[in-house]
């Protein structure tokens, strides 16, 4: 008797050879899609039957439509915790990247833990929740600024440090709010301004240039930003005024004349101690 079959027999549930084969493949991937199962077994009907059987017997957890998390044999029948970042990667069909606050978490820079994962993708993907974690998919260009990390031996794509930095400035609401964003970005300790400049040119948004200037100015010492880089950004400041935090009330802010950006009156309080 093989070790694999003996392991399955100790759980009290009998798996068919097809179910065992698919479950072993699912364990390697951690999260498996219906499409993965069909590709692995080569038979759509057999794949769907095996998925239903494994889920019923507690060897798979149904995460979302067509998406299943693998449960090790010794934990079969329990609400085994599935890695949230692998879930996002599989749900996004590996065509984008984990971003915003979730990327801060993966880079070890997040100040706080959130029960939400954001994934950037050029394709539309519906939101869902699983194991008290919300999964949200942001439609945006995910063709640049990506890096790969390993989670439990599985490759996961995440925005790199500089792309994460700019994405968070563009959407502070997806970075945990302004204070959380500032504390987290400061935890990078340094950024590659050459890469940052290239990404700013790629985005081509004057509002982002000016808001980035504000943030880099605040965090210049902790991020070791060269004076000449800030000076270069300052030459591109235009006549239009932007808000550091979109939709903030003008009366609750003050104008940063260097960058022509309205910032919260208590902005310096938010970065105190960073």
Query: Which helix (H) or strand (E) element contains residue 176?
Result: none
Pick 240 or 93 by higher pLDDT. Answer: 240
What are the tens digits of pLDDT across the range 43-79? 999 999 999 999 999 999 999 999 999 999 999 999 9
| Model confidence, pTM | 0.91
3 state DSSP class of 57:
coil
The pLDDT mean for the chain works out to 93
DSSP 239: S
Domain limits of the chain?
3-75, 84-271
Question: What is the per-residue pLDDT across 99-148, written as a single tens digit (0 to 9) for each?
Answer: 999 999 999 999 999 999 999 998 889 999 999 999 999 999 999 999 99
- Residues forming beta bridges with residue 67, ordered by sequence position: 33, 64
Convert the pLDDT of each residue in 18-45 to its tens digit: 999 999 999 999 999 999 999 999 999 9
Q: Hey, what CATH topology would domain 3-75 get?
A: Arc Repressor Mutant, subunit A (1.10.10)
- Cα(244)–Cα(262) distance, integer angstroms: 6
Give the whole-angstrom CA distance, residue 76 versus residue 216: 49
* Residue 65, both tokens: 């439509």
Structure tokens at 83: 């890695």
């Amino acid at each position: 008797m093989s070790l694999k079959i003996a392991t399955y027999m100790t759980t009290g549930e009998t798996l068919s050879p097809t179910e065992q084969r698919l479950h072993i493949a699912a364990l390697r991937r951690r999260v498996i899609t219906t499409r993965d199962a069909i590709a692995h077994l080569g038979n759509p009907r057999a794949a769907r039957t095996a998925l239903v059987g494994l889920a019923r017997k507690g060897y798979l957890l149904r995460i979302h439509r067509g998406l299943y998390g693998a449960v090790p044999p010794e934990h079969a029948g329990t609400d085994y915790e599935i890695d949230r970042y692998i879930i996002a990667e599989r749900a996004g069909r590996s065509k984008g990247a984990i971003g915003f606050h979730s990327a801060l978490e993966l880079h070890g820079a997040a100040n706080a833990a959130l029960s939400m994962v954001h994934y950037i993708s050029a394709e539309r993907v519906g939101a869902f929740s699983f194991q008290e974690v919300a999964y949200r998919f942001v439609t945006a260009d995910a063709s640049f600024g990506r890096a790969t990390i390993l989670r439990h031996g599985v490759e996961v794509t995440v925005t790199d440090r500089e792309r994460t930095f700019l994405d968070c400035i563009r959407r502070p609401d997806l970075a945990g709010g302004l204070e959380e964003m500032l504390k987290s970005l400061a935890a990078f300790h340094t950024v590659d301004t050459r890469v940052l400049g290239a990404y700013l040119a790629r985005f081509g948004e004057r509002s982002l240039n000016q808001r980035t200037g504000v943030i880099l100015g605040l965090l210049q010492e902790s991020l070791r930003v060269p004076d000449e880089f800030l000076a270069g950004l300052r030459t591109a400041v235009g006549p239009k005024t932007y808000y550091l935090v979109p939709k903030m009330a003008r009366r609750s802010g003050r104008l940063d004349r260097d960058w022509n950006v309205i910032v919260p009156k208590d902005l310096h309080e938010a970065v105190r101690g960073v």
